[in-house]
Structure 1
Amino acid sequence: MPEATVRPAWPADLADIASIYRHYVNTTTVTLDETPPDHAAWSSRYWSLAGRGLPFLVAETDGRIAGYSYCAPWKTRSAYRYCVEESIYLAPWATGRRIGGALLDRTLDECTRIGIREVIAVLTSETGAPESSSFHLHRSRGFEVAGRLKGVGFKNASTIDTVIMQCALADPDRARLAAGQRV
């Protein structure tokens, strides 16, 4: 299995990014979006994040976009300027190949490089269901559960919780986790 190359996203990648996300919107509860964003919405998001200098990355393998990640401001108030919300999605054919870990590692590295202190991940979980692979991926990279909002979403005839996870980039435990050491 070829290793994925993680690189900055380009405008030419937006159609593939939209296709990956469309799959999750239309067939899963991992996002609470019920209508996939169109190309114009993705373009607006891309240029907004690029203008802020925030990471927007893709993983490429076998010449195909295997997944993407990006960070957006957590809140618009200036006091939140060192905190972002991270999103990561993989093409269905790319799951289970360690591509999510490569994307998340590079995303966190880029956040550290630009001075971000806190990264938030908001994950969905069907009420009563076991934690997802995304939950375990984030946990393995030093994210901790900061809270759970029960039953706040309803999609595909399922009640959905959101799990808020947080990673302090200056946390020495995160550095040890990244090095493969137990905390």
Structure 2
Amino acid sequence: MLTIRDATLADMTAVHALYAHYVLHELATFELVPPTLEEMCARWQTIVDTQLPYLVAEIDAEIVGYAYAATYRPRPAYRYTVEDSVYLLPSHKGKGIGVALLSEVIRRCEQGPWRQMVAVITQGGTAGSAELHQKLGFQEVGRMPNVGYKFNRWVGTLIMQRALGDGGNSSPTPI
């Protein structure tokens, strides 16, 4: 049975291992060297400290995926915009786990002051991510060809966006 819950510090070992796979073998991230476990813990703590969701998906006590929302950019005008990330064990793709994780991240962000969610999706081997985001109301807003170089090739990004709650139709609650 699938359980979606808040990630804890104890989960970071499994999250670290899952993410390291993507860094070393897939285009879903532009990192070239897996961050240390300590760095992953620090990233988790930063997200938790900003009251944004960091979730794990669990089946039979095994972490099979994780997702979170993070501050989109550090400049103050972006304070109501977040960027999501979703990672699944390769063996668990296409089973609805990504939808469950991202839906809950969106729901929780809509309970806060955030008004826009952005997804930056690498092109080439990550078509499932674009489909996931489209399914949950994201729309393509741009493409940036050849902005990353990984595995000895140029890779572009697809930018998708969706409103959270009232989106840009009213002034947000001050943060």
TM over 0.5: yes
- Supply the AA of the counterpart residue of 1:159: W
**Partner of 1:84 in structure 2?**
82
Match of 2:122 among 124, 132, 138: 124
**Partner of 1:147 in structure 2?**
142
TM-score, reference length from structure 2: 0.91
2: CA distance, partners of 1:166 / 1:158: 26
Match of 2:159 among 164, 171, 179: 164
Where has structure 1 moved over 6 Å in runs of 4 or more?
A: none
**Partner of 1:19 in structure 2?**
17
Aligned residues: percent identity? 38
Instruction: Using the TM superposition, give the Cα deviation of residue 171 of structure 1 relative to its aligned residue in structure 2, in angstroms.
Output: 6.0
Instruction: Using the TM superposition, give the Cα deviation of residue 30 of structure 1 relative to its aligned residue in structure 2, in angstroms.
Output: 1.5
Q: What whole-Å deviation, never above 9, does each CA across 1:44-69 have from its counterpart, x for those lacking one?
A: 11111111101100011111001001
**Partner of 1:136 in structure 2?**
131
**Partner of 2:34 in structure 1?**
36
RMSD value, Cα: 1.4
Instruction: Using the TM superposition, give the Cα deviation of residue 94 of structure 1 relative to its aligned residue in structure 2, in angstroms.
Output: 1.4
Instruction: Using the TM superposition, give the Cα deviation of residue 122 of structure 1 relative to its aligned residue in structure 2, in angstroms.
Output: 0.4
2:71 pairs with 1:73:
yes
**Partner of 1:110 in structure 2?**
108
Q: Is the 8 A contact 2:68 2:86 kept in 1?
A: yes
Q: Is the 8 A contact 2:68 2:85 kept in 1?
A: yes
TM-score, reference length from structure 1: 0.87
SS of residue matched to 1:109: helix
